[in-house]
């Protein structure tokens, strides 16, 4: 993406995210309107829906020919990755928002023909906006980020998802044992930021497109690897176990699947 095009989008998307943050903070001290989706651990609030509705309205106005894939279904019915596609997670870590009012994120990204172009990942309570574009680099707020050290799994913390560890899916317990320690934060967005910053060497979870599309662009731009647990490249419309890791940690995790 050309730098001038990115700067134009960055100004707009940052304003949309500021509006979504303000909406979250407006509801911060009030009881939320919480509904269950597939079960008691899968929640949605009016804030998730309001944020998505506003993002969809802004994108329709600023990029009218693009399609929109949003978690809460207020965008388009997207079955392929052709053309311009915005992917939105209007509030990532809804359970954390409901129970902790902490550790939740907002994520938006733009793909063209399945290739990630630009991404915005906001750690709301940390006041951190990670943003960047293919070929241009990644910023944390206004500071350009440098690539995290390529540490091996044995020298870093591993972020895993609770259900995968409990059921020992894809050798999760061995991965945890090989690392310096396991962490579970409950928001894919926040977990991605920790790998981007070099605080953790990997994050592995069952993820849907809106959970990893944004983090994938930022991670790859910083020299990290995003793959399936057996080393395949996930397409942006994939559903499954996805990991983001340093190159060395990814190699060790993939090797454990066939050992």
* Region from 3-11, 135-143, 184-192, 249-257 binding ligand IPD, contact rule CB under 6 A: 184-192
Task: Write down how long the chain is.
Answer: 259
Residue whose C-alpha is closest to residue 106's, from 131, 123, 94, 119: 123
Residue 83 or 240: the one with the smaller Cβ distance to ligand IPD is: 240
71 has binding-site annotation: yes
> Torsions phi, psi of 10, nearest 5?
-60, -40
Choose, by CB under 6 A, the member of 186, 198, 215, 234 that binds ligand IPD.
Answer: 186
Asked if residue 92 lies in contact with residue 103, where contact means CB atoms within 8 angstroms, the answer is: no
Q: How far is 176 from 171, CA to CA, in rounded Å?
A: 9
Residue 139 or 206: the one with the smaller Cβ distance to Ca ion is: 206
Asked if residue 246 lies in contact with residue 148, where contact means CB atoms within 8 angstroms, the answer is: yes
Choose, by CB under 5 A, the member of 211, 225, 236, 253 that binds Ca ion.
Answer: 211
211 has binding-site annotation: yes
Residue 188 or 225: the one with the smaller Cβ distance to ligand IPD is: 188
Task: Indicate whether 161 belongs to the interface with ligand IPD (CB under 6 A).
Answer: yes
* Closest CB to ligand IPD: residue number: 188
Asked if residue 212 lies in contact with residue 244, where contact means CB atoms within 8 angstroms, the answer is: yes
Residue 81 or 211: the one with the smaller Cβ distance to ligand IPD is: 211
Considering CB distances under 5 to 8 angstroms, the limit depending on partner class, which of Ca ion, ligand IPD, none binds residue 205? ligand IPD
Residue whose C-alpha is closest to residue 205's, from 188, 220, 221, 222: 188
Q: Which of residues 44-103 bind Ca ion (CB under 5 A)?
A: 71, 89, 91-92
Query: What are the Cα distances from residue 71, in Å, to 53, 76, 107?
Result: 11, 10, 11
Whose structure tokens read 């392929």? 80
The nearest distance, CB 179 to Ca ion, in angstroms, is: 23
Positions at the binding site for Mg(2+): 71, 89, 91-92, 211
């Amino acid at each position: 993406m050309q730098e001038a095009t990115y700067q134009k989008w960055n100004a707009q998307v940052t304003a949309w995210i500021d509006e979504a943050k303000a909406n979250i903070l407006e509801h911060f001290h009030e009881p939320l309107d919480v509904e269950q989706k597939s079960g008691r651990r899968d929640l949605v609030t009016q804030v998730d829906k309001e944020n998505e509705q506003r993002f969809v309205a802004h994108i329709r106005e600023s990029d009218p020919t693009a399609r929109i894939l949003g978690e809460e279904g207020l965008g388009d019915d997207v079955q392929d990755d052709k053309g311009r596609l915005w992917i939105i997670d209007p509030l990532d870590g809804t359970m954390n928002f409901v129970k902790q009012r902490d550790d939740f994120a907002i994520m938006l990204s733009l793909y063209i023909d399945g290739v990630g172009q630009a991404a915005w990942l906001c750690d709301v309570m940390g006041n951190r906006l990670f943003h960047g574009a293919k070929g241009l680099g990644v910023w944390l707020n206004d500071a350009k980020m440098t690539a995290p050290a390529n540490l091996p799994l044995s020298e870093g913390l591993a972020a895993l998802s609770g259900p995968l560890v409990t059921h020992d899916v894809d050798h999760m317990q061995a991965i945890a044992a090989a690392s310096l320690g396991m962490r579970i934060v409950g928001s894919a967005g926040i977990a991605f930021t920790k790998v981007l910053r070099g605080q953790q060497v990997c994050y592995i979870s069952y993820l849907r497109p809106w959970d990893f599309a944004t983090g994938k662009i930022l991670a790859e731009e910083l020299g990290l690897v995003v793959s399936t647990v057996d080393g395949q490249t996930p397409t942006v419309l994939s559903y499954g176990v996805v990991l983001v890791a340093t190159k060395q940690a990814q190699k060790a995790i993939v090797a454990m699947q066939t050992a």
